[in-house]
């Protein structure tokens, strides 16, 4: 018993998967597949029967799509079930009826029937395959019933093709089957099926004959049936295993084996991948597909590239984990990966690469077997898919590359050989030895090897030997040689040539690899470094757009959610991404955190490709890429870099968001603190005048007959003064609130300072009654560019402050001067001044000077407001002490333009005649 | 008594704060005015159609609607003087109300003296324009300043002051509307024509020049009062004050 107890790690893993299941169970619907070995076995019929039964039980069953095939029985069964209206698509003149995913999602039934899981959707649909629609329905928590035939199972696809001779293009990934909650086999004897077929119950008669001939042969049906039954048995076995292991079970794949398959551009690779998948299924192993990028794969033709990409995607569809590695040596890299991933078996296709003219190394297969150690190697003869073979033979490609593709390189090779022979002649003429002449040719070969590809170098080596033989050995101008010694020279010459060639090309491959890696790393590093220094979504997006556009030669646009709506961050209107249908694709990619759009499986009709920007916190936005040809973007290497860029950007965006949230949290805390301090100190300052007012007025009310007229007047004056003070305080509070919330709009205009000061003095008339205010301006018409209401407030506060902190009756001096665009104003009092350490602090909120002479009241908001107003104007406020004592507040405002002069504004010079001269 | 009542002017107060209504009722009553009260736009409109008042005091911040819309509505059929009451930091509101046809404004908190002065000026100007005759005195007096509108002469302490044509036009316009606020836009339009492209600061410079010529202490003006953010007001002629 002890042995079977799960380890803590296993328990933890199980807890996690259980947790996932629990939370997913509330969302994810269940998939039931009615599985048959051929059309006509009655899958749709069985599905509809089940649906009718469920409906009679009162369940919410609707028909999403049922292929009637014109069969009477199915049509009767469909009756009485609710249908989700089909989508009609006009495609090349024909009207196609398709399952309507959006309608189904908005209908949100409990169970939906969607026939023909393997169906390929019409272009312009959301997904290219119906099983993807089903996947989305399941994610939306809707149970789905669907049907499928054995020939549509991806990993069995080629086996079926072999049995029946019919290649089925519509396939469903194995993973969909593996994750189906229920697999219901619909089986009838092949004889009965053939009979039904003849009765016309399966296809409409015209189609039946053709189908009969090609597919419905008895032996075919037997084989397919066996295949289907085996598949279901495997599934049942897996279910039993899982159930048996139950608590303490390891995983869905109890053998814990991992199988690795090597994927290449060769057309046969697809069938190798499928075989590997079948093997993996049989031994219940996980499958890893690996592709090794190196210099030679980099030189692949576009078709071969596409094949490679397709093979990797096929592996993905089959549920394999795909890995692309960069490395010079396929064998070493593959084995290293295999050891990292605890691979037990490696599947490789028989090497079909063109035989090289010289091969120093053993074939890849041989070396794999040699170096694999404890890992099993399965060598499979891959069979090319019939559709991809045509014109894609690597040999013909190599040949075409040899002749046509790079004529310039051949010309260059010949030119170098020409130079070599000229040099040889020169040496010969100079009387140099034969050995030196050979050196001239070898020099030529080395040059070719350095400059061009291996094939050129090999050609150059051979030519060099031939030329040497013809022109420099006796008898001249024949290939025949007198001296057998020369044969040794030739052999050495060609050997040296080939060795040099091999060495240089390997060197170049390594160099290329390093360069490429360096370039990518460098580019990524640069982007990362730049992004980390940028704040703000807009700027991040702009930088990323620039970098990606530059590197991939595409138009890149970043879309980010703004108030929940995904939008292009920049070039809002001009871009393709502003198009509503494109936005819909972007939204899909964002929501499902999956790549979508052109070149993918989803929403392929769109103009651009959409990559979600994924960070640990989820989708941050979408990267839209538009290019003439999106093919190159899906080369594993490019895609990897692109994805790295996307995730760099996503991380940067997340960092930015977190920073902003942090700041907001900080300022929220600060605001809270300010509010608290404000409440505490304001309540005191509000209460004092209120107490005076209510006290004075109540005594008037209660005792007015007993109070003499002078006392009454005194009380009334107090009330009036206090209410004015209160009014100023409230005004300051309001202003400060507005300023600190940024809701004040600064409306700047030119004002004579005198006027602003005048209205401030006017409002403080009572307060300043005992003061002598001396004003001195230079020039006398001192203009300043500011917001009059705010600046008036500054003057009021400064004047009030000056009064409060200087003895009653002393003068207040106001000086002003202008220097170009700069206006400087000083308000000086004759109080005791401000201590140096206080000179900075007085402008902070709720600071009050040490000793107020006239009274101790005032919140100390006044100077904070002055500071806020000056800040809002881009001006400065400071305080210092005058030599004679007393504080000097200094305001400095800088205008955007030169102030208008008095002359300029007196524009009516023509009628500028003084009126006094012309008495009427 | 009834005769007396009918002679007393009727002031309609449209204000939603009961304490302010109470204070206005008491103060205006003491000054010999009759007061009718309403607390919403709707009831105010009903009230002034039932018994047309001689002047309306209107709070701009009523709960059930926009005071400016009410002014515009009244102006369609009546020239009754309207004085709006608003908070201090609502310059834009004040200008909008004046543009909509209000005659003057008061900023809360205001003293009764201020209110009575506004009422007096508004009613006087209304009577003047409704009687249609320019029988108003052609002489303006304030402190040491005397303006003779018909002869276009200005005196300070009985010494003639030389003004440019535009300066005089501006001063004369203010004097004809003495005691009343004139918005910047209004003044610019009247003096420089409706299509004037001048900025407000031209006006300010003119005013500053006028003050230099006429005020004893230009920085503490007694004659041309600044209504910050709104416009200017010439002090009332002492013949009336």
Mean pLDDT of all residues in A731-736? 79
Write the pLDDT tens digit of every residue in A417-437.
899 899 988 988 888 888 888
Does B202 touch chain A if contact means CB atoms closer than 8 Å? yes
User: Are B201 and A919 an interchain contact pair (Cβ–Cβ within 8 Å)?
Assistant: no
CB contact under 8 A, A755 and B220: no
What are the pLDDT digits (tens) for B85-113?
887 667 788 888 998 899 999 888 888 88
Residue of B nearest to A902 (CA): B205
- Residue A852 is predicted with a pLDDT of 42
Beta bridge partners of A615: A618
pLDDT the model gives residue A555: 83
Taking the Cβ of residue B220 and every Cβ of chain A, the question of whether any pair is shorter than 8 Å is answered with yes
pLDDT digits (tens, 9 = 90+) for A365-418: 888 888 888 888 888 876 655 443 333 333 333 333 344 446 788 888 899 989
What is residue A256's predicted lDDT score, i.e. its pLDDT? 64
Tell me the three state secondary structure of residue A697.
Answer: helix
For residues B42 and B183, give the distance between their C-alpha atoms in angstroms, rounded to a whole number.
29
Do residues A44 and A66 lie in contact, with contact meaning Cβ atoms separated by under 8 Å? Answer: yes
Are A750 and B204 within 8 A, CB to CB? Answer: yes
Q: For residue A820, give how far its alpha carbon lies from the nearest alpha carbon of chain B (Å).
A: 18
Q: Categorize the per-residue pLDDT at A3 as very low, low, confident or very high, splitting at 50, 70 and 90.
A: very low
Q: What share of chain B is helix, strand, coil (3-state, %, to 5)?
A: 45, 20, 35
Look up the pTM and report it. Answer: 0.45
Is 80 exceeded by the pLDDT of residue A74? no
Question: Does the CB of B195 have a partner CB in chain A at under 8 Å?
Answer: no
pLDDT of A23 over the 70 cut: no
**pLDDT for position A204:** 53
**With 80 as the cut, is the pLDDT of residue B84 above it?**
yes
Tell me the helix, strand and coil percentages in chain A, rounded to 5.
55, 15, 30
Nearest to B29 by CA among B124, B91, B103, B112: B112
Tens of pLDDT along A629-667?
776 677 666 777 788 888 888 888 888 888 888 878 777
Contact with chain A for residue B152, Cβ under 8 A: yes
Q: What is the pLDDT of residue A733?
A: 79
Residues in contact with A377: Cβ distance below 8 Å, sequence separation at least 6, in sequence order: A345, A346, A348, A365, A368, A369
Residue B102: the pLDDT is 92
- Side by side, the strands of the sheet bearing B153-156 are B139-142, B145-148, B153-156, B159-161
Instruction: Please tell me what DSSP assigns to residue A910.
Output: G
pLDDT digits over B136-158, tens only? Answer: 568 898 989 999 988 999 999 99
pLDDT given for residue A24 in this prediction = 43
Contact between chains at A750 and B201 (C-beta distance less than 8 A): yes
Q: Do the Cβ atoms of A911 and B165 come within 8 Å?
A: yes
A908 contacts in chain B (CB < 8 Å): 164-166
Residue of A nearest to B110 (CA): A724
B213 shares contact with chain A (CB less than 8 Å): no
Report the residue of chain B nearest A720, measured CA to CA: B111
CA angle A135, A140, A141 (to 5 degrees): 100
Residues forming a β-bridge with A812: A773
| A905/chain B closest Cα distance in angstroms | 5
Angle at A915 between CA A913 and CA A916, to 5 degrees: 120
CA distances from A179 to A4, A34, A225, A257, A280 (A): 27, 14, 22, 19, 16
Query: A interface toward B at CB cutoff 8 Å?
Result: 720, 723, 727, 731, 734-735, 738, 749-752, 754-759, 761-762, 773, 775, 780-781, 783, 788-789, 792, 900, 902, 905-908, 911-917, 919-920
Closest CA to A740 of A802, A674, A804: A674
Query: Is residue B92 within 8 angstroms of chain A, CB to CB?
Result: no
Q: Is the pLDDT of residue B53 over 80?
A: yes
Structure tokens at A626: 């538009």
pLDDT tens profile A749-788: 888 888 899 888 888 887 888 888 888 888 777 888 888 8
Q: Quick count: other Cβ atoms within 10 Å of Cβ B81?
A: 24
- Residue B55, helix vs strand vs coil: strand
- Give the one of B154, B202, B228 whose C-beta lies nearest to A788's C-beta: B228
Q: What is the DSSP letter of A602?
A: B
Q: What's the whole-number mean pLDDT along residues A300-315? A: 79
Return contacts of A585-594, CB within 8 angstroms, 24+ apart.
A585/A610, A586/A559, A586/A610, A586/A622, A586/A624, A588/A126, A589/A622, A590/A559, A590/A561, A590/A566, A590/A619, A590/A621, A590/A622, A591/A619, A592/A136, A593/A618, A593/A619
pLDDT in tens, A786-822: 888 889 889 988 998 888 888 888 899 999 998 888 8
Q: How far is B11 from chain A (nearest CA, A)?
A: 25
| Mean pLDDT, range A117-145, rounded to an integer | 86
> Are A908 and B109 in contact (CB < 8 Å)?
no
| Helices and strands (H, E) in chain A, number of each type | 30, 25
Interface residue of B191, B226, B231, B233 to substitute, partner A, most A CBs within 10 Å: B226
- Write out the two tokens for A244: 């048996």
Nearest-by-CA chain B residue for A909 = B164
Model pLDDT, residue A855 = 43
CA distance, residue B231 to nearest chain A CA (Å): 12
Q: Where would I find the H helices in A704-778?
A: 709-740, 753-763
Q: What is the pLDDT of residue B173?
A: 92
- pLDDT single digits (tens) A227-255: 888 888 777 777 766 665 544 333 333 45
Three-point CA angle A209, A214, A219, nearest 5°: 110
The minimal CB distance from B205 to the residues A731, A905, A917 is found for A905
Q: Tell me, what's the ipTM?
A: 0.81
Q: How are strands ordered across the β-sheet holding A555-562?
A: A565-568, A555-562, A618-626, A609-615, A596-597
Token pair 């009764």 is found at B112
Best probe of the B interface among A915, A917, A919, by most B CBs < 10 A, is A915
Residues of B in contact with A789 (CB under 8 A): 89, 91, 228-229
Query: Quick one: pLDDT at residue A401?
Result: 37
Which residues, 6 or more positions from A205, have their beta carbon under 8 angstroms from its beta carbon?
A: none
Does residue A252 contact residue A245 with C-beta atoms inside 8 Å? no
Mean local confidence (pLDDT), A866-873: 85
- Is some CB atom of chain A closer than 8 A to the CB atom of B221? yes
What was the pLDDT predicted at A595?
Answer: 86
Which chain A residues touch B91 with a CB distance below 8 Å? 789
Whether B154 has its CB under 8 Å from any CB of chain A: the answer is yes
**R_g over Cα of chain A:** 44
Question: What pLDDT shows up at residue A504?
Answer: 81
3-state secondary structure at position B21: helix
- HEC profile for A123-158? CCCCECEHHHHHHHHHHCCCEEEEEEEHHHEHHHHH
Q: What percent of chain A has pLDDT over 70?
A: 82
Question: Which residues in chain B have Cβ-Cβ distances shorter than 8 Å to A759?
Answer: 226, 228
Question: CA of B111 to nearest chain A CA: how many angstroms apart?
Answer: 9
The reported pLDDT for the residue numbered A827 is 92
Let me know: does A417 contact A464? Beta carbons within 8 Å. yes
Q: Report the candidate in B103, B101, B94 with the shortest Cα–Cα distance to residue B70.
A: B101
Beta-carbon pairs below 8 A across chains A and B: 105
> Using the beta-carbon criterion (under 8 Å), do A750 and B208 form an inter-chain contact?
no
Separation between Cα atoms, residue A580 and residue A226, nearest integer Å: 50
Q: Beta partners for A288?
A: A260, A321
Whether the Cβ atoms of residue B189 and residue B196 lie closer than 8 Å to each other: yes
Q: How far is A863 from chain B (nearest CA, A)?
A: 19
Average pLDDT, chain A: 78
Q: What is the pLDDT of residue A649?
A: 86
Q: Give the C-alpha separation, A741 to A99, whole Å.
A: 53
Say yes or no for a CB contact (<8 Å) between B89 and A735: yes
For A319-363, the pLDDT digits (tens) are 788 777 777 778 888 888 888 777 888 888 876 554 444 444 567
Are A752 and B208 an interchain contact pair (Cβ–Cβ within 8 Å)? yes
A751: which chain B residues are within 8 Å (Cβ-Cβ)? Answer: 201, 204
User: In this predicted structure, what is the pLDDT of residue A112?
Assistant: 93
Find the residue in B nearest to A899 (Cα). B201
pLDDT above 80 for A214: no
Note the pLDDT of residue A250: 37
In chain B, what residues touch A913 (CB-CB under 8 Å)? 164-165
B151, B165, B211 ranked by CB distance to A913: nearest? B165
Interface check for B9 against chain A (CB to CB < 8 A): the answer is no
- Cβ contact B151–A920 (<8 Å): yes
């Amino acid at each position: 018993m002890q042995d079977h107890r799960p380890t803590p790690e296993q328990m933890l893993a199980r807890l996690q998967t259980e947790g996932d299941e629990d939370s997913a169970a509330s969302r994810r619907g269940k998939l039931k597949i009615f599985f048959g070995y051929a059309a006509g076995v009655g899958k749709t019929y069985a599905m509809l029967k089940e649906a009718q039964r469920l409906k009679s039980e009162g369940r919410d069953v609707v028909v999403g799509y049922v292929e009637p095939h014109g069969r009477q029985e199915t049509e009767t069964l469909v009756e009485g079930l609710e249908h989700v209206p089909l989508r009609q698509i006009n495609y090349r003149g024909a009207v196609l009826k398709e399952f309507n995913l959006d309608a189904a999602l908005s209908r949100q039934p409990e169970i939906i029937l969607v026939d023909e899981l393997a169906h390929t959707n019409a272009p312009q649909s959301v997904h290219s395959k119906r099983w993807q629609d089903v996947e989305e329905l399941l994610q939306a928590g809707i149970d789905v019933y669907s049907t499928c035939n054995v020939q549509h199972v991806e990993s069995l696809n080629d086996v079926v093709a072999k049995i029946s001779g019919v290649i089925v293009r519509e396939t469903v990934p194995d993973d969909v089957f593996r994750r189906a909650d229920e697999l219901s086999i619909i089986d009838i004897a092949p004889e009965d099926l053939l009979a039904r077929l003849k009765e016309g119950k399966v296809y409409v008669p015209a189609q039946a004959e053709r189908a009969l001939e090609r597919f419905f042969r008895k032996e075919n049906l037997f084989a397919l049936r066996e295949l289907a039954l085996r598949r279901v048995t495997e599934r049942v076995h897996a279910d039993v295993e899982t159930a048996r292991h139950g608590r303490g079970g390891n995983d869905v794949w109890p053998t814990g084996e991992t199988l690795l398959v090597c994927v290449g551009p060769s057309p046969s690779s697809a069938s190798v991948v499928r075989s590997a998948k079948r093997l993996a299924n049989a031994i219940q192993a996980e499958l890893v597909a690996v592709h090794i990028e190196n210099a030679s794969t980099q030189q692949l033709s576009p078709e071969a590239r596409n094949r490679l990409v397709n093979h990797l995607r096929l592996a993905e569809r089959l549920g394999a984990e795909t890995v692309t590695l960069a490395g010079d040596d396929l064998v070493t890299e593959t084995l290293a990966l295999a050891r990292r991933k605890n691979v037990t078996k490696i599947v490789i296709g028989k090497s079909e690469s063109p035989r090289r003219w010289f091969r120093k190394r053993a074939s890849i297969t041989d070396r794999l077997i040699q170096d694999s150690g404890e890992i099993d190697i399965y060598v499979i003869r891959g069979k090319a898919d019939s559709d991809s073979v045509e014109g894609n033979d690597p040999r013909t490609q190599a040949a075409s590359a040899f002749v046509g593709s790079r004529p310039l390189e051949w010309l260059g090779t010949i030119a170098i050989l020409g130079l070599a022979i000229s040099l040889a002649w020169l040496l010969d003429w100079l009387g140099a030895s034969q050995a030196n002449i050979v050196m001239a040719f070898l020099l030529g070969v080395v040059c070719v090897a350095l400059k061009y590809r291996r094939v050129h170098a090999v050609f150059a080596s051979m030519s060099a030997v031939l030329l040497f033989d013809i022109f420099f050995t006796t008898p001249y101008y024949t290939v025949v040689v007198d001296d057998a010694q020369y044969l040794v020279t030739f052999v050495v010459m060609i050997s040296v040539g080939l060795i040099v060639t091999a060495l240089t090309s390997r060197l170049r491959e390594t160099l290329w690899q390093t360069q490429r890696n360096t370039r990518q790393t460098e580019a990524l590093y640069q982007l990362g470094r730049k992004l980390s220094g940028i704040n703000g979504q807009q700027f991040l997006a702009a930088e990323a757009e620039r970098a990606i556009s530059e590197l991939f030669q595409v138009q890149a646009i970043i879309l980010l959610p703004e108030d929940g709506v995904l939008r292009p961050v920049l070039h809002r209107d001009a871009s393709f991404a502003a198009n509503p249908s494109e936005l819909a694709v972007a939204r899909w990619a964002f929501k499902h955190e999956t790549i979508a759009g052109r070149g993918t499986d989803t929403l392929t009709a769109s103009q651009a490709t959409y990559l979600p920007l994924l960070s640990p916190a989820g989708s941050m936005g979408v990267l839209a890429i538009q290019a003439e040809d999106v093919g190159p973007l899906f080369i594993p290497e490019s895609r990897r870099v692109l994805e790295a860029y996307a995730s760099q950007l996503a991380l940067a965006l997340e960092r930015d968001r977190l920073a902003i949230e942090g700041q907001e949290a900080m300022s929220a805390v600060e605001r809270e603190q300010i509010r608290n301090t404000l409440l505490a100190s304001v309540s005191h300052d509000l209460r004092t005048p209120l107490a005076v007012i209510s006290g004075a007025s109540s005594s008037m009310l209660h005792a007015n007959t007993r109070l003499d007229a002078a006392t009454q007047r005194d009380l009334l004056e107090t009330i009036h003064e206090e209410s004015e003070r209160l009014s100023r305080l409230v005004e300051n509070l309001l202003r400060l609130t507005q300023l600190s919330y940024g809701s004040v709009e600064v409306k700047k205009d030119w004002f004579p300072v005198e006027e602003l000061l005048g209205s401030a003095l006017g409002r403080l008339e009572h307060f300043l009654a005992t003061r002598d205010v001396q004003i001195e301006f230079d020039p006398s018409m001192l203009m300043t560019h500011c917001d009059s209401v705010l600046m008036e407030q500054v003057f009021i506060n400064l004047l009030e402050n000056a009064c409060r902190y200087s003895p009653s009756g002393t003068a207040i001096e106001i000086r002003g001067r202008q220097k170009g665009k700069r206006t400087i104003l000083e308000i000086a009092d004759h109080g005791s001044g401000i201590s140096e350490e206080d000179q900075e602090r007085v402008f902070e909120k709720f600071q009050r000077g040490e000793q107020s002479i006239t009274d101790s009241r005032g919140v100390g908001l006044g100077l904070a407001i002055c500071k806020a107003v000056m800040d809002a104007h881009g001006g400065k406020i400071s305080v210092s002490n005058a030599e004679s004592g007393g504080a000097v507040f200094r305001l400095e405002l800088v205008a955007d333009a030169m102030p208008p002069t008095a002359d300029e504004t007196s524009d009516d010079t023509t009628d500028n005649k003084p009126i006094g001269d012309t008495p009427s | 008594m009834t005769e007396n009542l009918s002679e007393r002017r009727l002031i309609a107060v449209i204000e939603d704060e009961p304490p302010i209504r109470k204070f206005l009722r008491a103060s205006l009553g003491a000054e010999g005015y009759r007061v009718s009260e309403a607390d919403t736009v709707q009831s105010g409109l009903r009230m002034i159609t039932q018994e047309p008042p001689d002047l309306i005091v209107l709070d701009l911040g009523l709960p059930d609607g926009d005071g400016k819309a009410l002014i515009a509505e009244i102006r369609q059929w009546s020239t009754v003087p309207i004085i709006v009451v608003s908070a201090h930091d609502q310059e834009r509101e004040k200008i909008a109300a004046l543009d909509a046809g209000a005659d003057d404004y008061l900023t809360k908190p205001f003293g009764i003296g201020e209110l009575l002065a506004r009422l007096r000026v508004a009613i006087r100007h209304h009577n003047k324009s409704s009687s249609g005759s320019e029988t108003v005195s052609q002489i303006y007096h304030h402190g040491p300043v005397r303006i003779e509108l018909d002869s276009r002469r200005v005196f300070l302490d009985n010494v003639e002051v030389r003004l440019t044509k535009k300066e005089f036009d501006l001063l004369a316009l203010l004097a004809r509307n003495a005691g009343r606020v004139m918005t910047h836009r209004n003044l610019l339009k009247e003096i420089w024509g409706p299509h004037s492209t001048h900025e407000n600061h031209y006006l300010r410079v003119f005013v500053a020049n006028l003050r230099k010529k006429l005020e004893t202490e230009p920085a503490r003006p007694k004659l041309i009062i600044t209504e910050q953010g709104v416009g200017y007001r010439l002090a009332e002629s002492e013949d009336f004050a």
